[in-house]
Amino acid sequence: MCWTFELALWLVDAPWPATKEELIDYANRSGAPIEVIENLQELEDEGETYDSILDIWPDFPIDDEDYLFDKEEH
């Protein structure tokens, strides 16, 4: 499983909390790239519910610093 920022963005607006199957269904309905669906299919399915993208990809950037965005430049 290989997440990138661009792939993870497809799940930001998912209906959290969600199960693996709900996330796969959301990705299919939203037209996400096949890589997103493949990554979701690789999640271990123990019937757990994911509360946010951070449960799936803990390295997801959550603030401007993580985006390498310098506010002073703009």
For residue 43, give the nearest of 66, 22, 12, 59 by alpha carbon.
22
Cis peptide before 58 (omega within 30 of 0): no
pLDDT digits 0-9 by tens, 20-65: 999 999 999 999 999 999 999 999 888 889 999 999 999 888 765 5
Q: State pTM to two decimals.
A: 0.80
**Dihedral of CA 38/22/18/5: which sign?**
positive
pLDDT of residue 25: 97
pLDDT tens, 2-29?
Answer: 899 999 999 999 999 999 999 999 999 9
Whether 67 has a pLDDT exceeding 60, the answer reads: no
Domain boundaries, the chain: 5-73
